Amino acid sequence: MSDLDATALRERVAEFLAGHDPATTERLDFLRARFDAGLAWVHFPEGLGGLGAPRALQAVVEADLAAAGAPDNDPRRIGIGLGMAAPTILTFGTAELKQRFLRPLWTGEEVWCQLFSEPGAGSDLAALGTRARRDGDDWLVTGQKVWTSSAHTARWAILVTRTDPDVPKHAGMTYFVCDMTDPGVEVRPLRQITGEAEFNEVFLTDARIPDAHRLGAVGDGWRVAQTTLMNERVAIGGRPIPREGGMVGVVADTWRANPDRRTPATHDRLLALWVESEALRLAGMRLRQQLAAGAPGPEGSAMKLAFARLAQSLSGLEVELLGEDGLRYDDWTPRRPEKVDFTGRDAGYRYLRAKGNSIEGGTSEILRNIIAERVLGLPSEPRVDKDLPWKDLPR
């Protein structure tokens, strides 16, 4: 662990900026150099975008670079890579995989997606049936994945498969990095209630994956996937935002701009939601402080659960405040966006898109079970299929 403190880190940032002026350095060259200088993820090891410094010091780097007008890596476009693939590769990847993938992942040169959910295995991920069979030094993968964000732009995917159907479902899974350009990978758009095709379904037909692209041991995919899922929920529900930032800021602005639409009832609802938003923001700060001391735990599930509920309540209130104007939805273009833009669209879009927040990244019902069992210590629900071989499970 580095002995860097905030003062020493600021000196490093100043030295870096002296050699890489954001005003004159090409954006991608700047991002690559920032990674090489250890200023991408300061808590990552040296040589992998970090300095082995405390995670909390990342905020120091971001603030100083932002003040200098430095470009960012467009984190919303590459959120799956940053929030899910990177920590999983760091934890379970070989030295070769870390060197190959982390730099272009962080700079945004290579977009990632997540091949987890299936038509019959969404909330119960361990029921998945996509099969991987060994073929020499490779694996051949056949199956279907669904609700895959960014699959249409992704170069790589994190993929969980079934490699042994003769053991209980949690024991026979194996985790890979999948090449989305392989001839055996087909991506089809799924049009949503917003009119966009942000999600996709992915069909794999003897998609070939080198064994060198396996993360973790054969049969240990469930443990690897837990690292991804815990980080996913923090990434969705625990992003840093300023006070009155995000959805609550949009709705508060709508309230201020429409004095004729205000009522005592909507005033009280907005105030209650503002307090909830602030409590969630502060809880997110605390969670990120806890992350500095170790890996994310089930607390991330609580953050994601609260985020989904709050986003839906706020978007619903905004539509009410706008009256008949809130019913308008002007753009039904079947676009395939590279990233979700909540605040840059109209109220109708936000209202419709927020409905997915309680499904994506773990349904709210499943997250409540996780919180009940792993945070509150309540008895778990009976699971009669826990010790049965996967092949014997009813489907």
Nearest Cα to Cα of residue 213 among 178, 183, 180, 172: 178
15 is catalytic: no
Instruction: Identify whether the C-beta of residue 201 lies closer than 8 Å to the C-beta of residue 191.
Output: no
CA distance 389 to 102: 36
> What per-residue string of b and e applies to 22-36 under the rule 16 or more CB within 10 Å gives b?
eeebeeeebbbebbe
Q: Which of 196, 198, 201, 232 is catalytic?
A: 232
Instruction: Identify whether the C-beta of residue 266 lies closer than 8 Å to the C-beta of residue 320.
Output: yes
- Distance between start and end Cα atoms, the chain: 48
Q: What is the per-residue DSSP string for 304-356? A: HHHHHHHHHHHHHHHHHHHGGGGG----------SS--STTS-HHHHHHHHGG
Catalytic residue numbers?
232
